[in-house]
Amino acid sequence: MFLHIKSVAYLQDYKLRLEFNNGVIKEVDLADVLHGQVFEPLRDLAIFRRVKVNADTETIEWSNGADFAPEFLYEIGETVSAQEKIAA
């Protein structure tokens, strides 16, 4: 099964809650991985908060084109309980 992201919610700082297509919900902290030309602008929290799921690529993305592979996000994320689903 290929991993895809169904929904994203901004939590605080550089933390996001992600719901994957396999039903798993994880929280990820991206503070330590925002390096390089495409990711540096995301250090501005006003920009970082505007994360969305791209329906075509089924992963999170920002307006400058920065994105992360769902598999990477799944690997670094901390699983949370199913009761903490993302409000749509």
Tell me what percent of the residues of the chain surpass a pLDDT of 70.
Answer: 91
Q: What predicted TM-score, i.e. pTM, was given to this entire model?
A: 0.89
* CA 70 – CA 28 distance, rounded (Å): 11
- Domain coordinates in residue numbering, the chain: 5-81
Residue 1: pLDDT band (50, 70, 90) is confident
- pLDDT digit string (tens) for 28-63? 999 999 999 999 999 999 999 999 999 999 999 999
Given a cut of 80, is residue 86 above it in pLDDT? no
- The CATH-assigned architecture of domain 5-81 is 2-Layer Sandwich (3.30)
